[in-house]
Structure 1
Amino acid sequence: MSSTDEPPPSPRPTPGALGYRLPAEWEPHEATWIAWPRNKEDWPGKFGPIRWVYAEIVRCLSRSERVRVLVGSGKAERKASDSLEKSGVDLDRIEFVRFRTDRGWLRDSGPMFVVRDRSIGAEGEPPPVALIDWKFNAWAKYDNWRRDNRLPKFVADRLGMDRWSPRVPIDGQQRRVVLEGGAVDVNGLGTLITTEECLLSHEQERNPGLNRSGYEQLMAEYLGVSKVIWLGRGIVGDDTHGHVDDIARFVDPTTVVACVEENQGDPNHAPLRENLERLREATDQDNRPLRVVELPMPAPVVFDGQRVPASYANFYIANSVVLVPTFNDPKDREALGILAGLFPGRTVVGIHAVDLVWGLGTLHCLTRDQPRGPAAG
């Protein structure tokens, strides 16, 4: 190498190498992000009542923390503001953010915020909160995703946060990695649960050529994960093809709730039973067994001949409340009671979701938590 040549730049350290990790949802939030509903195709024939369901979600969340509401225009903001005000929302707790989305499923299209616990405040240390900008391609199923795919960069720029966009070599090219927030759930200490149906199936394949070990390496490098627990299949009606947030969720560092279907004739019975057994046999990042609590499934919810993915596991954990979808079902009370026992420091609130789930998702699918970060704690 001549004296005028310079060595190639060193690769940028990954978040995992810098000590970042994906926090558990129960860790303190700076805010919750949600996108005001705008795409009528998400709720064909039922769009009318959806804004009132959203208003109730925002009302409950705003009592717990700041809510950042994405709206596409000034007109949309005025309409959203009117609905929220009529629903008793304190608008001082709301921050409207102008960004036009394709759809509103921020769990999947929004950024994954990561936090860094060590050396907080030391000069030259990375900031306590950053974000991961995975590619979003509408679950490898729909064609309206390009605006949504730009959302994480917009958020990073708005908040002044560091951002990583994971890439892997596939077919001789560096390709951005697709990963949705609803596909994973973590305990914040290094253990992550996901499903083979979502990440490893060739149907709705997000990342052709990326295998199990490849995903595990990515989760270690970008999310600080040291242990991945692979479940099998998701539930009937889930158009994401196997998201874990409809079947199993961490509720504390050592406890997982797992959905079960008692009716042996229901197509969800066998896959949920298999997932339950996998969790009972699994261990966490410290090789300790998990505590597994069974969560019932509601009776099938069907509209216009289509079964939709109704599940109590699609709850959302905010700072002082846990919002749980309900379905006018006798099991509503049982599910709320189980979750209330698991979140003694939070108020567990049921949100009527029979109309909402016609969009093929409910509360967790719609929300994205922005962690406060240890520096502000």
Structure 2
Amino acid sequence: MTTPAPETDAPRLPAEWEPHAATWLAWPKNPRDWPGKFHPIPWVFGEIVRRIAQFETVRLLVDDAAWEDKARRVLGKAGADLERVRFHHVPTDRGWCRDMLPAFTLRRASPRVRAVRFGFTGWAKYPDHLLDAEAPEHVARALKMPMVRAAAQGRPLVLEGGGIDGNGRGTLLTTEECFLDPITQVRNPGLTARDYEDAFREFLGVEQVIWLGKGIAGDDTHGHVDDLCRFVAPDAVVLCREKDPSDENYRVLEENRERLEGVRLHGGGKLQVIDLPMPEPLFFDGVRLPASYANFYIANGTVLVPTFNDPRDRIALGILAECFPDRIVTGVHAVDLVWGFGTLHCLTHEQPSAGKALDIVHTS
């Protein structure tokens, strides 16, 4: 069993709504991520960067100077504030920053930020991941930031950021399908739930792990939690709900709801569960896509929410606006984007500011 670090020096994984120093993105370049639909993707990125740069610095990974020029042209036409964009020449394979970049923790005894490097194996599925796996070193070096390598049972711990979600107060959401399935897309063979919990405590300062069951249909990560359930306050989550009993997500989401009923948070408070609708099933080329409003991204002054030309877009935006009354909640068209099997949260990665946690208005 891992011995926790002393409280005065323990790490803390901040919540996404706490102040950011920057948001990291990687400029899209791999047409295989969006086969037959790549052309509009840079323009969707242009809109994402434009929205985020209104409130914070955007740090953008590009392969080299030629790719930087391409990105600058698109961003300029999209109206993004290029003064708020910092370019980093770092070659990548696929560039899903949520999953390949390090986690950032704060120290309880000081305002120092530290990078936590997890292993990345292309979701235990895709062989073209070796450049992405080295991105954490480049990021830590660019920021002159100390970095620690996460491990469990004497070996590197493989983990993607989309597989976890925290409330900044010591509680973490994840799924059994993603990390405990012994057959499909196995990240860490032989690790138990207790092994993960010990590692989360040591490297992220987590005291409570809420294990959900399975993820949504169409998710090729095999169960990332950021497509179904997210913290929106220290004591509240949004959980996707499918009302059609014939839909393959219906039973999965209801079972996850049952797991959350009666949960008491680390510290004793009750967890509030807020319904977030699912859009109508979205298919392309006969493939069901992981369209979900839960894949939103919380930036300093805004929340970007994927939308799908669906009547439920408006409902989802309204629910999230009530959850984040201090931010501008904006929809970003994601029908093309989700053909890459991910949307806004998958693409982005926050870099927290050093300092005290941001107090927010709890949902009611």
- Fold in common (TM above 0.5): yes
Is the deviation greater in 194-203 or in 355-364?
194-203
8 A Cα contact 1:16 1:221, kept in partner: no
Shift of 1:49: 0.3
Do structure 1's residue 42 and structure 2's residue 33 form an aligned pair?
yes
| 1:217-296 aligned within 5 A | 217-296=198-277
Alpha-carbon distance in structure 2 between the residues aligned to 1:92 and 1:75: 19
AA aligned opposite 2:174: T
Alpha-carbon distance in structure 2 between the residues aligned to 1:189 and 1:375: 12
Alpha-carbon distance in structure 2 between the residues aligned to 1:180 and 1:258: 20
8 A Cα contact 1:197 1:241, kept in partner: yes
- The normalised TM-score by structure 1 is 0.92
Q: Which residue of 1 aligns with 2:56?
A: 65
Shift of 1:90: 1.2
Shift of 1:106: 0.5
Alpha-carbon distance in structure 2 between the residues aligned to 1:179 and 1:151: 14
Q: Which residue of 2 aligns with 1:365?
A: 346
Q: Cα 1:13–1:155, aligned 2, differ >3 Å: closer, same or farther? A: farther
Q: Cα 1:349–1:152, aligned 2, differ >3 Å: closer, same or farther? A: same
Q: Cα 1:198–1:130, aligned 2, differ >3 Å: closer, same or farther? A: same
Q: Cα 1:329–1:79, aligned 2, differ >3 Å: closer, same or farther? A: same
Q: Which residue of 2 aligns with 1:161?
A: 145
AA aligned opposite 1:138: G
Q: Please identify the structure whose Cα radius of gyration is greater.
A: 1
Alpha-carbon distance in structure 2 between the residues aligned to 1:207 and 1:17: 30
- What is the count of residue pairs matched by the alignment? 356
8 A Cα contact 2:28 2:42, kept in partner: yes
Instruction: Choose the corresponding residue for 2:135, options 147, 151, 156.
Output: 151
Q: Which residue of 1 aligns with 2:172?
A: 192
- The normalised TM-score by structure 2 is 0.95
Say what the alpha-carbon RMSD is for the aligned residues. 1.7
Shift of 1:287: 2.5
Question: What is the DSSP-based 3-state SS (H/G/I as helix, E as strand, rest coil) of the residue aligned with 2:276?
Answer: strand
Q: Which residue of 1 aligns with 2:74?
A: 83
Shift of 1:64: 1.1
Alpha-carbon distance in structure 2 between the residues aligned to 1:178 and 1:151: 14
Q: Which residue of 2 aligns with 1:105?
A: 96
Shift of 1:375: 7.2
Question: What is the DSSP-based 3-state SS (H/G/I as helix, E as strand, rest coil) of the residue aligned with 1:136?
Answer: coil
Shift of 1:12: 12
Q: Which residue of 2 aligns with 1:123?
A: none
Question: What is the DSSP-based 3-state SS (H/G/I as helix, E as strand, rest coil) of the residue aligned with 1:266?
Answer: coil
Do structure 1's residue 336 and structure 2's residue 327 form an aligned pair?
no
Percent same amino acid at aligned positions?
Answer: 55
8 A Cα contact 1:16 1:220, kept in partner: no
Shift of 1:227: 0.5
Instruction: Mark the runs of 5 or more structure 2 residues left unpaired by the alignment.
Output: 359-364
Q: Cα 1:209–1:16, aligned 2, differ >3 Å: closer, same or farther? A: farther
Instruction: Mark the runs of 5 or more structure 1 residues left unpaired by the alignment.
Output: 1-10, 121-126
AA aligned opposite 1:159: L
